[in-house]
């Protein structure tokens, strides 16, 4: 499974992004539109194709205030929190199983911090199977085999500074590469999934 690593060069720091209102340029927290949504814009319409296993601390998923019924402005046609809750199929610790429409809805407001998002080739009803196989794959080779066989699309954020995307379909990577080339303050380089797999334990 091949991929791309998207980064911000050091000279495109927070003040430039704050002035433009897109992306944060921050080290670990985004404001405004997330880098995830900005950099992977060509893929956002496709997220609803799959069910997703999400691995990240809960604070990563920021839900805009206007999603709540009480805070919604007149004529609001966006997501309702009750409808969003129905798209969450399973949860445990810092893992979630969601319909793709859930990730699609929070993409623009999530925090660009440590996270892994896995699009399942085959839809699952519970987290158990994937999570158990994930932790059992304790070598780079076995982890790569698990993801290559079970995952259609994989996003990974490292310390708020880097987003990576890995895809079984090379055309998806081509679309991201072409899109990032048009964005100021972003650069895409090749990334091997084997080199970027990581593990972390839930934080208390």
Band of pLDDT at residue 67, cut at 50, 70 and 90: low
Helices 128-136 and 140-150: crossing angle in degrees, nearest 10, is 150
Domain ranges of the chain: 33-64+81-196
Helices vs strands, H then E, count in the chain: 8, 8
Mean pLDDT of the chain: 80
Cα–Cα distance between 135 and 61 in angstroms, integer? 23
What is the mean pLDDT of the segment spanning 110-127?
94
Q: What is the DSSP string of 147-185?
A: HHHHEEEEEEEETTTEEEEEESSHHHHHHHHHHHTTSTT
Mean pLDDT across the stretch 26-49? 80
User: How far, in Å, CA of 145 to CA of 123, rounded?
Assistant: 18
pLDDT score at 98? 97
Answer yes or no: is pLDDT of 74 > 70. no
Q: What is the pLDDT of residue 138?
A: 80
pLDDT one-digit tens code per residue, 51-66: 999 999 988 987 665 5
The fraction of the chain above a pLDDT of 70, given in percent, is 73
Is 21's pLDDT higher than 50?
Answer: no
pLDDT above 90 (res 69): no
What pLDDT, on a 0 to 100 scale, did the predictor assign at position 79?
A: 58
């Amino acid at each position: 499974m091949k991929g791309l690593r998207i980064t911000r060069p050091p000279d495109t720091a927070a003040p430039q992004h704050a002035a433009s209102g897109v992306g944060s340029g921050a080290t670990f927290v985004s404001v405004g539109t997330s880098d995830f949504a900005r950099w992977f814009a060509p893929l956002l319409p496709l997220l609803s194709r799959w069910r997703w296993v999400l691995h990240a601390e809960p604070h990563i998923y920021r839900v805009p205030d206007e999603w709540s019924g009480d805070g919604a402005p007149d004529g609001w046609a966006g997501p309702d929190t009750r409808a969003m809750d129905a798209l969450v199929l399973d949860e445990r610790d810092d893992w979630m199983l969601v319909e793709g429409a859930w990730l699609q809805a929070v993409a623009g407001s999530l925090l660009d911090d440590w996270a892994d998002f896995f699009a399942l080739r085959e839809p699952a009803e519970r987290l158990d199977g994937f999570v158990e196989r994930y932790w059992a794959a304790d070598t780079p080779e076995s982890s790569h085999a698990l993801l290559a066989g079970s995952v259609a699309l994989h996003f990974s954020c490292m310390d708020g500074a880097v987003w990576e995307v890995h895809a079984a379909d090379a055309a998806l990577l081509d679309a991201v590469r072409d899109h990032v080339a048009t964005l100021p303050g972003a650069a895409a380089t090749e990334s091997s999934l084997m080199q970027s797999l990581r593990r972390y334990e839930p934080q208390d």
